[in-house]
């Protein structure tokens, strides 16, 4: 076990992530300067905390709204006056989007999931017939079918 | 209000509806190590334009391409990899989210350069492979080295860069087409593109000995049809049977959502016509795009295309640029 592993294990046990000095027989193991080791461990801990915080934020944004989607690898989106275009750059296929189609893609890119997409769209569009949810769902299915979005 | 996504053929998207091109073909230099007989740009050694863009001008255009969210840009030439700023320009575009394709003659695809292409984020590289043997290859590309090109294809594959192959049919190589499709697939190509050799640029001077006969074209397209079936799902085999004038006539009513940037920053409507609609050294890309749409409606363009039908030799004038 390396000194770094011992220090992290100690930190895990003690709850002291400040990089307290090792106690007992572990104190003398290795020849590294204790202060620099503490500093090293602290930086690693900060990095882990930052990474975990990002993961939680990501899970939170998709978890609340359902499955998050993104554009497939070679697909580019651009908003246009008539709505928007999706351009599949490998095959050079172009998909023209209606204004609401572009709004759906825009919301997907903003992190909207299946569940909260409709709510977001309702803030922009009236839904007098109550068909928006089904239409959005059908539209997303067609995007999936054409390989334009991935989970 | 129903959200919809329609997928017309890319050529059917009306350019006039778009705020910017969907595809920009940028001839970043006219310099080339080869002097190919059929070259539409008549590129070659010492053939760089006198006023090719300096770094500040080139990076200004790169910035505008990113800002306008142009989805795809293609670097061509001349030989684009001879441009001193090639990799820096490639990195700038890719970092800005633009999908970059490179069209090359394949003579500079060393292991090191392929790794740099990969690191830059280049989406694909299209290599011209115009012969299955050194003899047929160099008949069209004097001084070209087929072995070097094939080695380059291997380096691309090793670096994990998607490869596309382009083939220009001539009397010397048209019978090898099927074999070259197989070579392309063996080299890991994802696409194989070809069509009729255009009566324009350098090809005009040697047309009699270059151009395949109609019988040869018939066999050629039949072979390509077979190959397209054979490689279905594994490699796209695409070919345009339309001739140059037919293509241009179609474009008059259906301009593609793409334009051509010349090495000095001027912008052409399409390769095979001499008309220039803007200059990116002095004009903004969005303004040039608006000018591009007006230019296709200029009666001089339709007159020129109609004239080509009567006098095919007009195609030799594509480098006598006319500013619209």
Contact B144, B137 (CB under 8 A): yes
Do residues A92 and A126 share a domain? yes
> Is pLDDT of A54 > 50?
no
Provide, rounded to the nearest whole percent, the portion of chain A with pLDDT above 70: 56
DSSP lists the bridge partners of residue B25 as: B74, B260
Q: How many domains does chain A have?
A: 2
* A56 and A21 together in one domain: yes
Reported confidence tier of residue B13, pLDDT bands at 50, 70, 90 = low
In this structure, what CATH number is given to the domain that contains residue B94?
3.20.20.70
Residue B9 lies in a domain: no
Least confident of A137-146, B136-145, B209-218: A137-146
Contacts B257 to A, Cβ<8 Å: 94
**Number of Cα atoms under 13 Å in the Cβ half of residue B276:** 17
- The number of distinct structural domains making up chain B is 1
Average pLDDT over residues B233-250: 90
Residue pLDDT, tens place only, A93-148: 899 998 889 999 999 888 887 778 888 888 888 888 888 888 888 888 899 999 99
Query: Quick one: A92 and A134 in the same domain?
Result: yes
| Same domain, yes or no: A74 and A144 | yes
Dihedral pair phi/psi, residue A89, rounded to 5°? -75, -15
- For B231-255, what is the mean pLDDT? 91
User: Would you state the pLDDT for residue B7?
Assistant: 52
- A54 plus A10 within the same structural domain: yes
Same domain, A59 and A74: no
Which is higher by pLDDT, B17 or B237?
A: B237
Domain of residue B257: give its range: 18-323
| Stronger pLDDT, A15 or B36, i.e. the higher one | B36
Q: What is the pTM of this model?
A: 0.81
pLDDT at A53 over 60: no
pLDDT tens sequence across B283-311: 999 999 999 999 999 999 999 999 988 88
Residue B8: half-sphere exposure toward Cβ, Cα within 13 Å: 11
Domain membership of residue A108 as a residue range: 70-150
CB pairs under 8 A between A and B: 86
ipTM for the assembly = 0.82
Q: Is the alpha carbon torsion for B94, B99, B103, B104 positive or negative?
A: positive
Q: Which two tokens stand for residue B305?
A: 């295309």
* Cβ atoms of B80 and B104 closer than 8 Å: yes
pLDDT at B24: 97
The per-residue pLDDT of chain B, averaged, comes to 93
One domain for residues A82 and A24: no
Q: What is the mean pLDDT of residues B81-94?
A: 95
Which member of B1, B17, B23 has the closest CB to residue A80?
Answer: B17
Pairing of strands B124-128, B322-323: unpaired
Residues 81-140 of A with CB under 8 A from B: 81-82, 85-87, 89-101, 103-104, 125-126, 132, 135-136, 139
A146 and A98 together in one domain? yes
């Amino acid at each position: 076990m390396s000194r770094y592993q011992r220090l992290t294990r100690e930190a895990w046990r003690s709850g002291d992530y400040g990089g307290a000095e090792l106690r007992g027989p572990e104190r003398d193991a290795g020849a590294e300067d204790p202060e620099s080791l503490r500093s090293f461990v602290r930086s690693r801990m900060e990095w882990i905390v930052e990474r975990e915080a990002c993961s939680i934020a990501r899970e939170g944004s998709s978890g609340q709204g359902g499955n998050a989607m993104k554009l497939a690898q070679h697909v580019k989106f651009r908003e246009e006056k008539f709505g928007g275009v999706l351009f599949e750059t490998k095959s050079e296929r172009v998909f023209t989007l209606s204004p609401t189609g572009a709004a759906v893609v825009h919301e997907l890119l903003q992190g909207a999931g299946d569940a909260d997409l409709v709510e977001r769209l309702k803030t922009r569009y009236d839904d007098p017939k109550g068909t928006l949810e089904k239409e959005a769902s059908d539209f997303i299915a067609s995007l999936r079918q054409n390989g334009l979005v991935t989970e | 209000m129903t959200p919809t996504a329609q997928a017309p053929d890319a050529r059917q998207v009306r350019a006039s509806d778009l705020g910017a091109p969907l595809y920009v073909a940028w001839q970043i230099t006219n310099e080339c190590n080869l002097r190919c007989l059929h070259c539409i740009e008549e590129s070659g050694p010492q053939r760089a334009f006198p006023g090719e863009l300096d770094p500040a001008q080139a990076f200004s255009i790169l910035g505008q391409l990113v800002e306008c969210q142009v989805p795809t840009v293609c670097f061509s030439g001349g030989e684009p990899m001879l441009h001193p700023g090639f990799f820096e320009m490639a990195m700038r575009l890719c970092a800005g989210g633009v999908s970059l394709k490179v069209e090359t003659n394949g003579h500079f695809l060393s292991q090191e350069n392929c790794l740099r292409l990969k690191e830059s984020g280049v989406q694909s590289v299209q290599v011209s492979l115009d012969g299955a043997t050194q003899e047929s290859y160099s008949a069209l590309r004097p001084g070209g080295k087929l072995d070097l090109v094939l080695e380059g294809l291997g380096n691309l594959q090793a670096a994990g860069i998607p490869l596309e192959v382009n083939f220009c049919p001539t009397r010397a190589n048209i019978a090898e087409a099927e074999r070259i499709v197989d070579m392309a697939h063996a080299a890991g190509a994802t696409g194989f593109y070809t069509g009729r050799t255009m009566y324009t640029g350098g090809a005009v001077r040697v047309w009699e000995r270059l151009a395949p006969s109609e019988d040869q074209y018939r066999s050629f397209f039949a072979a390509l049809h077979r190959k397209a079936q054979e490689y279905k799902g594994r490699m796209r085999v695409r070919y345009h049977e339309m001739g140059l004038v037919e293509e241009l006539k179609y474009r008059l009513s259906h301009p593609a959502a793409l334009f051509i940037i010349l090495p000095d920053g001027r912008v052409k409507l399409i390769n095979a016509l001499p008309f220039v609609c803007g200059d990116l050294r002095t004009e903004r890309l969005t303004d040039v795009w608006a000018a591009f749409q007006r230019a296709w409606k200029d009666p001089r363009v339709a007159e020129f295309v109609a004239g080509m039908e009567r006098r095919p030799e007009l195609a030799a004038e594509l480098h006598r640029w006319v500013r619209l």
